[in-house]
Amino acid sequence: MSTIKEYLTSDHRKCDELFAIMEHGVSESLTDAKDMVKEFISQTERKRRFNQKLFKIAHLILNEDNKIDDFLGSLTLKDIMQ
């Protein structure tokens, strides 16, 4: 994926394709199917970690925005004029 938006809006075709390939692959080679499952698990784990990082960043941004709002809300005209 080249952008966060593309990542977040992607559908599950890749998963569907993988399961179809695995279903076919199991009949030919169990080892190949196991390797595909391991790769799928690895990719899924990377995506899960990416999501965690993305939500952590979003949370940090929201917290900073609230701190700025609180600071600006606490200012009085006297504070601004000094």
In the chain, where the domains are located: 4-81
What's residue 38's pLDDT? 85
Write down the pTM of the prediction: 0.49
Question: Per the structure block, which two tokens stand in for 4?
Answer: 């966060």
Stretch 72-76: mean pLDDT: 74
What's residue 77's pLDDT? 64
Q: Is the pLDDT of residue 5 over 70?
A: no
Asked if residue 32 lies in contact with residue 24, where contact means CB atoms within 8 angstroms, the answer is no
Exposure string over 53-72, b if 16+ CB within 10 A, otherwise e: eeeeeeeeeeeeeeeeeeee
For the chain, the average pLDDT equals 76
What's residue 51's pLDDT? 87
Q: Cα(61)–Cα(21) distance, rounded to whole angstroms? A: 41
Q: Is the pLDDT of residue 14 over 80?
A: no
